[in-house]
């Protein structure tokens, strides 16, 4: 019985954390000061931008980004079906495999705020895909994944 209870609690914690994670699924999206298009644009989000869901109001989510900036985004512009990542350091090398022994890809390094879809995890490395379909591996500590 204790094992079942522990498993249930662990599942609820993981599900709750994942439920707060959102990814922008379209390019160049406006972020708003409030829950509606009548509110001022306060920023822009790019395809695969990870966001933390704070609350929902109607068809809008109040969200927080990796720099702790809070804004609103329409529910049709985000998904919780996959994970996304953003480079949180000034730059991050993108490699052909999960480790420093692998060479950097042609368009490495990535710069701060560049966004990716998470494809795979291997140890401390994350395989990512950019909005153009290019893939590579980035060291986990250089990314913010919600």
pTM (predicted TM-score): 0.82
Domain boundaries, the chain: 20-79, 84-145
Residue 91 pairs with which residues in a beta bridge?
Answer: 111
Mean pLDDT over each residue of the chain, to the nearest integer: 89
pLDDT band at 19 (very low <50, low <70, confident <90, very high): low
Same fold, 20-79 and 84-145: yes
Of 2-6, 17-21, 70-74, give the range with the top mean pLDDT: 70-74
- Count CB-CB contacts under 10 A for residue 93: 17
Architecture label for domain 84-145: Roll (2.30)
Tell me the mean pLDDT in the region 16-29. 79
Tell me the mean pLDDT in the region 3-23. 52
CATH fold of the domain at 20-79: SH3 type barrels. (2.30.30)
Q: Is 141 exposed, middle or buried (0-12, 13-18, 19+ CB in 10 A)?
A: exposed
pLDDT at 15 over 60: no
Q: Which pLDDT score, from 0 to 100, does residue 11 have?
A: 38
1 or 105, greater pLDDT: 105
pLDDT at 13 over 50: no
Q: Is 59 exposed, middle or buried (0-12, 13-18, 19+ CB in 10 A)?
A: exposed
Please tell me the distance from the alpha carbon of residue 40 to that of residue 114, in angstroms, as a whole number: 24
Q: What is the pLDDT of residues 50-75, one digit of tens each?
A: 999 999 999 999 999 999 999 999 99
Tell me the mean pLDDT in the region 92-121. 96
The gap from C-alpha 2 to its chain's centroid, in whole angstroms, comes to 34
Q: Which pLDDT score, from 0 to 100, does residue 5 have?
A: 39
Torsion of CA 35, 39, 40, 42, to 10 degrees: 0
Tell me the mean pLDDT in the region 39-48. 95
């Amino acid at each position: 019985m204790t094992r079942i209870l522990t498993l249930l609690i662990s599942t609820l914690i993981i599900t709750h954390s994942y439920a707060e994670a959102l990814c922008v699924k379209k390019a160049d999206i406006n972020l708003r000061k409030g829950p509606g298009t009548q509110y001022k644009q306060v920023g822009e989000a790019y395809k695969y931008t990870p966001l933390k869901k704070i609350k929902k109001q109607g068809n809008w989510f109040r969200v927080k980004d990796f720099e702790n900036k809070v804004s609103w985004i329409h529910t049709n512009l985000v998904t919780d079906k996959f994970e996304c990542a953003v480079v949180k350091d000034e730059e991050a090398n993108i490699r052909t495999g999960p480790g420093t022994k692998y060479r950097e890809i042609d368009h490495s390094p990535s710069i701060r705020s560049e966004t990716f879809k998470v494809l795979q995890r291997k140890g401390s490395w994350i395989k990512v895909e950019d909005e153009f379909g290019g893939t590579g591996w980035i060291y986990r500590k250089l990314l913010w994944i919600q």
